[in-house]
A and B are shown apart, each in its own frame.
Chain A
Amino acid sequence: MDELTSVFIQEGREQLQAMESGLLELEQQPDNQDNINGIFRAAHTVKGASGVIECHFIEGFMHKVENVLDRLRNSDIQVSSDLTGLLLRCCDHLGRLMDVLESGAAEPEAEIKAAGDALLEELVAYTTPAAPVSGGSVVEAQADVEASGGGVVNTDSWHISVRFGPHMMRGGMDPLSFIRFLASLGEIIALETIPDAMPEAAEMDPESCYLGFEIRLQTRASKAEIEQVFDFCRDDCELRILPPNSKLSEYLKLIKELPEDDMRLGEMLLRCGALTQAELDEALSSQQRGRLPDPAGDSEAEALPIGEILVDQKVVQKEVVEAAVSKQTQVSEKKAVEARLIRVQADKLDQLIDLVGELVIAGASANLLAQRSGQSELVESTSILSRLVENIRDSALQLRMVQIGETFNRFNRVVRDASRELGKEIDLVITGAETELDKSVVEKIGDPLMHLVRNSMDHGIEKPDVREARGKSRHGRLELNAYHDSGSIVIEVVDDGGGLPREKILQKAIDKGLVQPTQQLSDQEIINLIWEPGFSTAEQVTNISGRGVGMDVVRRNIQSLRGSCEVSSTEGVGTTFTIRLPLTLAIIDGFLVGVGKSAYVIPLDMVIECIELTDMSADRDFLNLRGEVLPFVRLRDMFEIGGDRPARENIVVVQFAGQKAGIVVDQLMGEFQTVIKPLSTIFRHLRGIGGSTILGTGEVALILDVQALVQRNVRQEERDMNANNALPRSTAAN
């Protein structure tokens, strides 16, 4: 695929997204003219660009879509949910067409084509009373001149003079495609090629473009739209557009401004049918006399933009020009914002992060050596170095950060479609869309979030009638919140639906043998049963959720991102799912501890404090932390590390998901910048170890996954208990 096409696909998808979000907004505010214009602009840009790369199946499709949008914009048709639904489906289809283009196929497959034709069929309903000019198919550029010679003049068409810049073709643009695209706006009545700039054959550069065109265009399109046709080469061409019914003086000015010989140009205009012979003669002679027939067009006019001249001469209404101008500035402002962004390939960025990771490791090793050498100057300089490295690390990681808003916005559409399908009225409220997190996390969080959102819509929020009966507003409320919280990012999915039915969950868990009927469970424990594999409360499998992929998959996906998820729910009031994720997957601040000869890293943001283990409770694994009961895990026992316990053991108090626990270790070795190195896939079933890192000495240290470690310990103790209880009394006594 050539570069131009890939740029088109990338930008086209962005426009598509803009179009889709615009359409969703349109449903909320049908009267927002800016929004309709925005949608139209997006569709139009896609169409224009597809014309430039000569992808005719997209161009043709978008042309029809644009016709409907145009009518919408001109308030010829009204916004209705059917229409927006149809247009949204058109967006989807456009997405599929782009996939086709991306795959390199010349034409979409019959199936996709049929789907597109079906959509176009539906669109026709909105274009039936279409204006004769815009309704037709793409009109081929007609080279024959209808109005040569004397009298016939088409004053009701636009006149476009364009002189393409010499570098145009080097930039990958083909003048012909612009004209072809122009023809899609309306009908080209006449077209004259101006080859005057063409040098002698010997001097001619075949890669340069020397051509200009005088075009008569009959269309309902606005001036801005015609200008947009030339958007791609705006900087590199001279463009003059005269509206229909322009005065003679306009044409005269045009003749004057253009580089070509006046007489010759006059003939051209004549041939195009813009002027009659008599008009031309009069104009030229009056020009020779040194003044223009219309006084408004003289000296000051040259400095004024064409729009103002037009107003002066009462050719177009002021409002029209203002609208066009504001549209142009909007476009250019948007361009300015885009210019401050640089597109970088993701793998280049990954490479940079990898290198920074290596730098951190190398820096740690230099630090270690400097400290061993005992030279204070060396220690000082390495510490400055490591501070800089730390800064580089932070800014490098910042590069990967993206706002979560994009992911959230996708749900607008999901919620809209699903609420239709389910016959519910659901409003989506998004807060914290600007919260940033690592790109790789953002990519992977989409699916679990989708599952939670669909679940909330399907099982959580009630039907409008039920809601009314329960004294709630008919509209259900679904919230997506994101915010930072102590080194991690929290994403919440909140609904104000019926909440999780405890009785039902418990009954189902008993039916499935997940719990014993005699077991006493707290409310929270019952709710947590939904995370168990193979648990699904939906009585019937619906389209939206409950395809048998349970919440355990959601949890597993989140855990694979080193995150955690919780649920809290009040019956009748609503349910909140809380997902906690690390900010980045590449580098963390760690706390280094030692057991025997091995070193382990505990993520620093989980560590609350470190205390000495005073040997009071030799047998029971809990202690009194300022009045709180703190259970702890002995790492030496758990990891079956040999050797004797040292005289002094320490406890690292960690907190995760609102729970506190202690980890007993031999030594505390301080903070350590930890570059996470994934362990081989061989270890993917290993619980309790989150990854590995390389110490300054070159040794590998393991990173503890505190949460999994504690859970593992809990399970193990439970199992021991059950085993002990099951044993006969005599053995148990031993």
Chain B
Amino acid sequence: MGQVVQSAGKSGKSVAELAADSAPQQYLTFTLGGEMFAVAILNVKEIIEYGTVTEIPMMPGFIRGVINLRGAVVPVIDLSCRFGGKSSQVARRTCIVIVELEQDDQKHDIGVMVDAVSEVLEIPRSDIEPPPSFGAKIRTDFISGMGKVGGKFVIILDVARVLSVEEIAMLTQIGESSASEAA
């Protein structure tokens, strides 16, 4: 498993490196549980309103379900739950950010549920600090950097790791077997 995560991390790094080359970088910022996060804009395909999500049974809580995106069935991840928090409540400004990832030579579309989308920001390379080794309350490998915006820190997420298809698939398996054992 460690290997799998690592390889996913490597591919994530290459995306980040690619992104770093084409400076200045644009980021989409959004809020989640009152905190500000950012993802590289190149990963974002579109942003849609939170609509009808079909729940998938026997899945861990951070998988919210699937939606119909113009004929394609796309899974939706509850980000705050993925970070270990409680599941987000659907409110007026809740959105789904559709993120496109390329993993194992396959393109995956994954929806990410966020409380509200803020704006697209340009953050220069010089304003991005390395992630803290602890204290962020999020797995450090999920963070690609800390962006300084208006005197505050914005957590820039490493999308390839947060939404690693391999890892999530593994987690669903564990979730499933433990759920059936518990039952």
- Complexed CA–CA distance, A280 and B121 (Å): 95
What residue of chain B has the Cβ atom nearest to residue A700's Cβ? Answer: B54
Shortest C-beta distance, B11 to chain A (Å), equals 15
- Taken together as a complex, chains A and B put the C-alpha atoms of A688 and B67 apart, in Å, by 19
B57–A680 CB distance below 8 A: no
- In residues 635-681 of chain A, which contact B (Cβ within 8 Å)? 638-641, 677-681
* Interface residues of B, count at CB 8 A: 31
Interface presence of A507 (CB below 8 A)? no
Give Cα A429 to B58, complex, Å.
46
Instruction: Identify which of B52, B72, B169 contacts A683 (C-beta below 8 A).
Output: B169
Once bound together, how far apart are the Cα atoms of A638 and B173, in whole Å? 16
Query: Is B180 part of the binding interface, using a Cβ–Cβ cutoff of 8 Å?
Result: yes
Residue from B54, B58, B63, B72 within 8 A of A682 (CB atoms): B63
Stretch at the interface among A72-80, A562-570, A714-722: A714-722
| B102 close to chain A: CB less than 8 A | no
Q: Does A687 contact B (CB under 8 A)?
A: yes
Q: A677-B72, A692-B73 are in contact. Are A686 and B56 (CB under 8 A)?
A: yes
Inter-chain CA distance A292–B159, complex, in Å, is 92
Cβ of B74 under 8 Å from chain A: yes
A361 to B73 Cα, complex, angstroms: 13
The answer to whether B55 and A694 touch across the interface, beta carbons within 8 angstroms, is no
Interface residues on A, range: 20 to 34
Nearest CB on B from A586, distance (A) = 13
B58 touches which of A361, A686, A715 (Cβ 8 Å): A686
Whether the pair B108, A680 counts as a contact (CB closer than 8 A) is: yes
Asked if B56 and A702 sit within 8 Å, CB to CB, the answer is yes
Instruction: State whether the Cβ of A358 lies closer than 8 Å to any Cβ in chain B.
Output: yes
**Cβ contact within 8 Å between B54 and A701:** yes
Contacts A682-B165, A683-B169, A685-B173; A358 near B180 (Cβ below 8 A): no
**A361 to B110 alpha-carbon distance, docked (Å):** 22
**B44 in the interface (beta carbon within 8 A):** no
Q: List, in ascending order, chain B residues with CB within 8 A of A679's CB.
A: 56, 66, 73, 75
How far is the CB of B128 from the nearest CB of chain A, in Å? Answer: 29
**Contacts of A361 on B, CB cut-off 8 Å?**
71
Tell me whether B181 and A638 are in contact (CB under 8 A).
no
Q: Which chain B positions have C-beta within 8 A of A687?
A: 176
The reply to whether B165 and A681 form a contact with Cβ atoms under 8 Å apart is yes
The complex places the Cα of A686 from the Cα of B173 at a distance, in Å, of: 7
CB <8 Å contact, B68 and A698: yes
Give the distance in Å from the alpha carbon of A682 to the alpha carbon of B110 in the complex: 10
A680-B110, A683-B56, A686-B59 in contact; A700/B73 too (CB < 8 A)?
A: yes
Asked whether A504 is an interface residue with its Cβ less than 8 Å from the other chain, the reply is no
Interface residues in B127-183 by Cβ distance below 8 A to A read 165, 168-170, 172-173, 176, 180-181, 183
Answer whether residue A699 sits at the interface, using C-beta atoms and an 8 A cutoff: yes
Docked-complex contact A358 and B168, CB < 8 angstroms = no
In Å, the complex CA distance between A394 and B181 comes to 43
Whether the pair B168, A700 counts as a contact (CB closer than 8 A) is no
Q: A680-B108, A686-B59, A702-B56 are in contact. Are A358 and B71 (CB under 8 A)?
A: yes
From B52, B65, B170, contact of A698 by CB (8 A): B52
Partner of A680 from the list B58, B74, B173 (CB cut-off 8 Å) is B74
Please state if B67 and A700 are interface contacts (CB–CB under 8 Å). yes
Flag if A683 contacts B75 (CB, 8 Å). yes
- CB pair A686 B172 closer than 8 Å: yes
Known contacts A680-B74, A682-B165: does B176 contact A699 (CB below 8 Å)? Answer: no
Q: Does B22 contact A (CB under 8 A)?
A: no
B75 touches A682 (CB 8 A): yes
CB contacts (< 8 Å) of B126 on chain A: these are: none
State in angstroms the CA–CA spacing of A701 and B73 once bound together: 10
Q: Which of B59, B181, B183 has the most CB of A within 10 A?
A: B183
In the bound assembly, the distance between CA atoms of A361 and B68 in angstroms comes to: 12
Q: Any chain A CB within 8 A of the CB of B89?
A: no
Distance, CA A368 to CA B71, complexed state (A):
17
CB distance from B108 to the nearest CB of A (A): 6
Given A639-B58, A640-B57, are A685 and B67 also a contact pair (CB < 8 Å)?
A: no
User: Are B56 and A680 closer than 8 Å at their CB atoms?
Assistant: no
Residue of A641, A680, A688, A715 with most chain B CB atoms under a 10 A cut-off: A680
A314 contacts the other chain (Cβ, under 8 Å)? no
B106 contacts partner chain A, Cβ-Cβ < 8 Å: yes
Docked-complex contact A639 and B57, CB < 8 angstroms: yes
**Nearest-CB distance from A588 to chain B (Å)?**
16
Pair B67/A682 contact, Cβ less than 8 Å: no
A699 surroundings in chain B (CB, below 8 A): 52, 54, 68
Known: A641-B57, A702-B54, A716-B180. A681 touches B169 (CB 8 A): yes
Shortest beta-carbon distance from B154 to chain A in Å: 27
**Contact call A684/B180, Cβ cutoff below 8 A:** no
A689 at the interface (CB under 8 A from B): yes
Q: Which residues of B contact A639 (CB under 8 A)?
A: 57-58
Interface string of A281-292 (1 = CB under 8 A from B): 000000000000
Contact B57–A638 (Cβ < 8 Å): yes
Using CB atoms, name the residue of chain B closest to A640: B57
Name B93-136 residues within 8 Å CB distance of A: 106, 108-110
Contact A688-B172, Cβ < 8 Å, known A679-B75, A680-B73, A716-B180: no
Partner of B176, one of A682, A685, A719: A685
Which residues of chain A are near B110, meaning CB under 8 Å? Answer: 680, 682
B58 to chain A, nearest CB (A): 7
Give the residue name and chain of the B residue nearest to A676 (CB). Answer: B73
Q: Pick the residue among A598, A684, A715 that contacts B54 (CB under 8 A).
A: A598
Nearest CB to that of B180 among chain A residues? A716
Contact status B54-A686, CB under 8 Å: no
Q: Does A712 count as interface, using CB distance less than 8 angstroms?
A: yes
Closest chain A residue to B57, Cβ basis: A639
Which of A358, A682, A700, A715 is B169 in contact with, Cβ under 8 Å? Answer: A682
Q: How far is the CA of A719 from the CA of B176 in the complex (A)?
A: 14
Report the minimal beta-carbon distance from A249 to chain B, rounded to whole angstroms.
71
Asked whether, in the complex, the Cβ of A700 is within 8 Å of the Cβ of B59, the reply is no
Which chain B residue lies CB-closest to A600? Answer: B57
Closest chain A residue, CB of each to CB of B77: A682
CB distance from A727 to the nearest CB of B (A): 14
Residue of A nearest to B55 (CB): A598
Are B169 and A689 closer than 8 Å at their CB atoms? no
Residues B181 and A719 in contact, CB atoms below 8 Å apart = yes
Cβ of A550 to closest chain B Cβ, rounded Å? 21
Residues 691-734 of chain A, each 1 if its beta carbon lies under 8 Å from chain B, else 0:
01010001111100000000010011001100000000000000
- When distances are taken between beta carbons in the complex, the residues of chain B under 8 Å from A701 are 54
B131 CB to nearest chain A CB (Å): 25
- Set of chain A residues within 8 Å of B108, measured between Cβ atoms: 680-682
CA distance A715 to B183 in the complex (A): 12
Which B residues are in CB contact (< 8 Å) with A688? 57-58
- The residues in A between 221 and 258 inclusive whose CB is less than 8 angstroms from any CB of B are none
Indicate if the CB atoms of A682 and B71 lie closer than 8 Å: no
Give Cα distance in the complex from A437 to B73, angstroms. 26
Please, which residue of chain A has its CB at the minimum distance from the CB of B54? A700
Query: Are A719's CB and B180's CB within 8 A?
Result: yes
Write out, one digit per residue, whether chain B residues 67-89 have a CB within 8 A of any chain A CB (1) or not (0).
Answer: 11001111100000000000000
CB of A562, distance to nearest CB on chain B (Å): 17
0/1 per residue, A618-641, Cβ < 8 Å to B?
000000000000000000001111
Q: How far is the CA of A598 from the CA of B165 in the complex (A)?
A: 26
Q: A679-B66, A698-B68 are in contact. Are A685 and B169 (CB under 8 A)?
A: yes
Q: Does B59 contact A680, Cβ atoms closer than 8 Å?
A: no
A698: B residues at CB distance < 8 A? 52, 68
Instruction: Tell me the smallest distance from the CB of B49 to a CB of chain A, in Å.
Output: 13
> Cα distance A677–B69 when bound, in Å?
12
Q: A640-B58, A684-B169, A698-B68 are in contact. List 5 more A-B contacts (CB 8 A).
A: A638-B57, A679-B73, A680-B109, A683-B75, A688-B58
9 residue pairs of the A-B complex, CB under 8 angstroms, read A639-B57, A677-B73, A682-B172, A684-B169, A685-B176, A686-B56, A692-B54, A692-B73, A701-B54
In order of increasing CB-CB distance, the 4 nearest A-B pairs are: A639-B57, A685-B173, A700-B54, A677-B73
Chain A residues with a Cβ under 8 A of chain B? 358, 361, 598, 638-641, 677-689, 692, 694, 698-702, 712, 715-716, 719-720
